[in-house]
């Protein structure tokens, strides 16, 4: 058991070191895109399934509440939280449209849409990103496993170099925290 724990933690460290060496520039770019959108009165729209839905909510909470700095709330929403909207869209149009319909309803051209999927191939997340692009929003994909289809359609792909869902999700939260901290510094730093 102790060896398994050690192996899991070492793998998580290896993936985060790979993120550091391969994605630092893209993470900085994402924070810059988000900072510009927020300065222009836009919002951050996040969406994903399962653990990625929880990550969407977590990152949105960091923007709306605060991350490190005492500052005003920043406009951000996770499209994973309103069960009445999700279930009515899934029932009337199909599960694949649960994010695209919401993006269509609340998205505007100064917004940033962030789709999160460890495989990069979640059909409803892809549909949400495609709707965002159609509407003129900037798009960011948070993926793993080589990026999947999402990496080919988003304006910016942050692809964690791993096929292990748990390790990809851990890296997504680290990336989300870094982006929040950089955006706070861009907008409110001294």
Domain holding 168: CATH number?
Answer: 3.40.50.10490
What pLDDT, on the 0 to 100 scale, is given for residue 130? 98
186 Ramachandran zone, left/alpha/beta (phi>0; psi -120 to 50): alpha
Secondary structure (3-state) at 187: helix
What pLDDT, on the 0 to 100 scale, is given for residue 190? 65
Count structural domains, the chain: 1
Q: pLDDT (tens digit, 0 to 9) for every residue of the chain, 190 residues total?
A: 899 999 999 999 999 999 999 999 999 999 999 999 999 999 999 999 999 999 999 999 999 999 999 999 999 999 999 999 999 999 999 999 999 999 999 999 999 999 999 999 999 999 999 999 999 999 999 999 899 999 999 999 999 999 999 999 999 999 999 999 999 999 998 6
What pLDDT, on the 0 to 100 scale, is given for residue 10? 97
Q: What are phi and psi of 139, to 5 degrees?
A: -130, 140
Domain of 179?
Answer: 2-188
Residues 150/115, Cβ–Cβ less than 8 Å:
yes
For every residue of 37-70, DSSP letters joined together read: HHHTT--EEEEESTHHHHHHHHHHHHHHS-SSS-
What pLDDT, on the 0 to 100 scale, is given for residue 125? 98
Secondary structure (3-state) at 165: helix
**pTM (predicted TM-score):** 0.96
């Amino acid at each position: 058991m102790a060896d398994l724990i050690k192996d899991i933690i070492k793998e998580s460290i290896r993936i985060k070191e790979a993120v550091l060496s391969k994605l630092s520039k893209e993470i900085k770019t994402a924070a810059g895109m988000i900072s510009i959108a927020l300065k222009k009165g836009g919002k951050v729209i996040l969406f994903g399934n399962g653990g990625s839905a929880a990550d969407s909510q977590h990152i949105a909470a960091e923007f709306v509440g605060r991350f490190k700095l005492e500052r005003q709330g920043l406009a951000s929403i996770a499209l994973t939280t309103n069960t009445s909207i999700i279930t009515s869209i899934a029932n009337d149009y199909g599960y694949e449209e649960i994010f695209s319909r919401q993006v269509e309803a609340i998205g505007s051209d100064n917004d940033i849409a962030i789709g999160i999927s460890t495989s990069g191939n979640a059909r409803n997340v892809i549909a949400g990103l495609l709707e965002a692009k159609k509407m003129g929003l900037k798009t960011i994909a948070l993926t793993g496993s080589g990026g999947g289809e999402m990496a080919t359609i988003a304006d910016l792909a942050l692809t964690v170099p791993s096929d292990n869902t748990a390790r990809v999700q851990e890296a997504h939260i680290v990336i989300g925290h870094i982006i929040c901290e950089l955006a706070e510094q861009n907008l409110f730093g001294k």
